[in-house]
C-alpha cells in the first residue's frame, strides 16, 4: 500500500512538471495564428463533516480529547482551473485550509492541496497531500500527513457553482471520510498566446522560448 501511494504521488508530480514542457513544444511546432485558453477562479467557502471509522489510533485520540468520531469542518476553497477554448475537461488545482472540531471547543487546522480534472458536466476527480495537526494520546501536538482522494460534482444555480464532494483520507494513524459542500461565483479571464511558426525559429533562438 505504501508503494502504491508513493507511485501515485510521483505520477502526479511528473504530470504537472512535464505539462509546461509539453505546451511549449506544441506551441513551437504548430503553425496556426492564435490559440485561446480560458482561466477560471472558483474560490469560495466550504463546510462539511468528517467521520473517523474503525478502531484506529486517530479514533482513540479523539475519544481521549472528549471528541466524537464525527467532526465539523469550515474553511475556504482556493481554486484555479484552465479550460481549453476548444472544449474538453478542465485541469484543476485546489488548496483547501480548514478548521475542524469547533463544536467540541477545539481548533484543529488542516490543509489539503489537490490536483485533478473536471468534466464539462461538472464531475470532478482529484488527489493530493493533506497536512493536519492532531493532539496525541500523550497530549502533544503532532503534524501528520495523509493522502486524499476526492470526487464530486458542481451544480450550477443561477450562475453560482454549488460543489458537492466526497473525500477519503488515508494515513497510518487512521482513515477519514468527509462530505463537503459550498458555493462559488466563477470569475474568468481569457489569455491569448501566439503560436510561433516553425520556419521562424532559428537553431540559435531556442533558448528564447
Report the CATH number at residue 112.
2.40.160.20
- Say how many Å lie between the first and final Cα of the chain, rounded: 41
In the chain the beta strands, taken as DSSP E runs, fall at 34-41, 44-51, 70-84, 90-100, 108-118, 123-135, 141-157, 160-170, 176-182, 184-185, 187-194
Give the structural domain span for 125.
Answer: 2-195
Taking the whole predicted model, whether its pTM rises above 0.75 is answered as no
User: Per-residue pLDDT tens for 114-156?
Assistant: 999 999 888 999 999 999 998 888 878 899 999 999 999 989 8
**Count of domains in the chain?**
1
Q: Quick check: is 200 in a domain? A: no
User: Per-residue pLDDT tens for 153-193?
Assistant: 989 888 888 999 999 999 999 999 999 999 986 655 555 44
Q: Quick check: is 50 in a domain? A: yes
Distances (CA, A) of 125 to 18, 56, 135, 153, 170: 20, 27, 31, 9, 16
Q: Quick check: is 204 in a domain? A: no
Amino acid at each position: 500500500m505504501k508503494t502504491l501511494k508513493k507511485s501515485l504521488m510521483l505520477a502526479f508530480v511528473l504530470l504537472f512538471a512535464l505539462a509546461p514542457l509539453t505546451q511549449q513544444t506544441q506551441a513551437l511546432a504548430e503553425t496556426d495564428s492564435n490559440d485561446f485558453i480560458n482561466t477560471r477562479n472558483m474560490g469560495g467557502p466550504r463546510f462539511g463533516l468528517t467521520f473517523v471509522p474503525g478502531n484506529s489510533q486517530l479514533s482513540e485520540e479523539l475519544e481521549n480529547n472528549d471528541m466524537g468520531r464525527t467532526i465539523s469542518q469550515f474553511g475556504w476553497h482556493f481554486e484555479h482551473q484552465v479550460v481549453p477554448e476548444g472544449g474538453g475537461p478542465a485541469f484543476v488545482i485546489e488548496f483547501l485550509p480548514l478548521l475542524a472540531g469547533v463544536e467540541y471547543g477545539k481548533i484543529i487546522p488542516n490543509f489539503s492541496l489537490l490536483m485533478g480534472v473536471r468534466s464539462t458536466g461538472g464531475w470532478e476527480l482529484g488527489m493530493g497531500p493533506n497536512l493536519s495537526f492532531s493532539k496525541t494520546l500523550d497530549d502533544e501536538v503532532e503534524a501528520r500527513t495523509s493522502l486524499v482522494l476526492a470526487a464530486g460534482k458542481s451544480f450550477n444555480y443561477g450562475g453560482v457553482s454549488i460543489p458537492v464532494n466526497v473525500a477519503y483520507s488515508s494515513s497510518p494513524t487512521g482513515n477519514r471520510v468527509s462530505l463537503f459542500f459550498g458555493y462559488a461565483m466563477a470569475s474568468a479571464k481569457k489569455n491569448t498566446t501566439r503560436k510561433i511558426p516553425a520556419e521562424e525559429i532559428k537553431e540559435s533562438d531556442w533558448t528564447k522560448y
